[in-house]
Amino acid sequence: MTQPFSQAVAAFEPALPLAVAFSGGADSTALLLACVQKLPGQVSAIHVHHGLQEAADDFARHCQRVCDALSVPLSVQRVDAHHALGQSPEDAARRARYQAFETLAQSNGGQHGFQSIAIAQHADDQVETMLLALSRGAGLPGLSAMPAYWRRGGIDYHRPLLQVSGSDIRQWLVAQGVDWVDDPSNSDKRFTRNRIRARVMPVLVEGFPQALDTFARSAAHAAQAQALLDEVAAQDLQQVGAPPLIRALQVLSRPRLANLLRHWLRSRFQVAPTRAQLDELMRQIDACSTRGHALHLKVANGFCERRGDCLHWYNP
């Protein structure tokens, strides 16, 4: 069930000190303000300057004004978020953000030191993520949508508002009398997520008023099933080795081999193959019947190749 904003913040108990990913929009403004009220002196803010639109400098200045008013340290991280050929703009921006977080954490931070980062994505975002995954024919990792907690690069990441509706967040923020900025790119219909937000979500919620709750349950079921598959893949990876022995891969069933290869690529290199790439990779693994049989295939932004008896992935 969705819950009130204040209840979600009250239940949020991160390791301290805490940084809030602060775009200047309504959701992150509400989360920053609520965390400062709950944890005075323990909160800083991080604003990622993507440099993708003319208003980016204005967003950074707005964030600085808000943080100055709250006496909150702000770190503005400038990144190159331009997407490469074949990469979606959304994915490029997301990767740049997380790289900025990790870079700041590894720099020891000074006054911006933190153990945890809070991100203000909420229940509406969760449904949009699931619908976006469905539109792309995603498997269980995509249908699991966004986790409420994960650890990466020595940082604890939290999404404490995943059970709170966007409307409830804005109602709380309006009551606080704090201003925010709207990113014009959020209404750009060239992006699939924005089309889902503007055209699909209103119809979905009107026809199925409990959609935020039911989709959240489905995402939780998918996440549970994916966790089980990850356990199996981790056990298989121990058996086949890392890098995996090709002859050990060849004895696995096709579904188990696919699960293992996805897990190996994701856990070791943070990449994901397309369905076509995975199918071809499995075909080529099966075809490696002689010691001299070569294997070389583009997978994600790098290549899988045979080196001796093992399968390797590298990014040239």
Question: Are 113 and 255 within one domain?
Answer: no
Residue 231 within any structural domain of the chain: no
Q: Residue range 212-230: average pLDDT?
A: 92
Question: Are 165 and 72 within one domain?
Answer: yes
Distance, in Å, from the CA atom of 170 to the CA atom of 168, rounded to the nearest integer, reads: 5
Q: Given a cut of 50, is residue 213 above it in pLDDT?
A: yes
Q: What is the pLDDT of residue 110?
A: 44
Q: Which of 162, 57, 39, 157 is nearest to 102 (CA)?
A: 157
Distance, in Å, from the CA atom of 273 to the CA atom of 311, rounded to the nearest integer, reads: 15
Residue 226 within any structural domain of the chain: no
| 119-129 residue pLDDT tens | 999 999 999 99
| 145-204 residue pLDDT tens | 899 999 887 889 999 999 999 999 999 999 999 989 987 777 778 788 889 999 999 999
**Total number of residues shown for the chain:** 316
Question: Are 153 and 292 within one domain?
Answer: no
Distance, in Å, from the CA atom of 256 to the CA atom of 102, rounded to the nearest integer, reads: 33
Residue 21 within any structural domain of the chain: yes
Q: Residue range 74-82: average pLDDT?
A: 77
Q: What is the pLDDT of residue 189?
A: 80
Q: Given a cut of 60, is residue 80 above it in pLDDT?
A: yes
- CATH number, residue 204: 3.40.50.620
Structural domain boundaries enclosing 305: 241-314
Where a domain ends, among 194, 212, 230? 212
- pLDDT band of 81, cuts 50, 70, 90: low
| 229-247 residue pLDDT tens | 999 999 999 999 999 999 9
Residue 223 within any structural domain of the chain: no
Q: Is the pTM of this model over 0.95?
A: no
Q: What is the pLDDT of residue 77?
A: 85
Residue 153 within any structural domain of the chain: yes
| 4-42 residue pLDDT tens | 999 999 999 999 999 999 999 999 999 999 999 999 999
Residue 227 within any structural domain of the chain: no
Where a domain ends, among 173, 195, 212? 212
Span of 86-90, 206-210, 294-298, 304-308 with lowest mean pLDDT: 86-90
Distance, in Å, from the CA atom of 262 to the CA atom of 257, rounded to the nearest integer, reads: 9
Q: What is the pLDDT of residue 182?
A: 87
Distance, in Å, from the CA atom of 182 to the CA atom of 16, rounded to the nearest integer, reads: 29
Count: domains in the chain: 2
Q: Which of 102, 81, 100 is nearest to 90 (CA)?
A: 81
Q: What is the pLDDT of residue 82?
A: 58
Residue 245 within any structural domain of the chain: yes
How many other β-carbons are positioned within 10 Å of the β-carbon of residue 213? 15
Q: Which residues pair with 303 in a beta bridge?
A: 298, 314
Q: Given a cut of 80, is residue 100 above it in pLDDT?
A: no
Q: Given a cut of 80, is residue 215 above it in pLDDT?
A: yes
| 269-310 residue pLDDT tens | 989 999 999 999 999 999 998 888 899 999 998 999 999 999
| 255-264 residue pLDDT tens | 999 999 999 9
Question: Are 34 and 135 within one domain?
Answer: yes
Q: Given a cut of 80, is residue 106 above it in pLDDT?
A: no
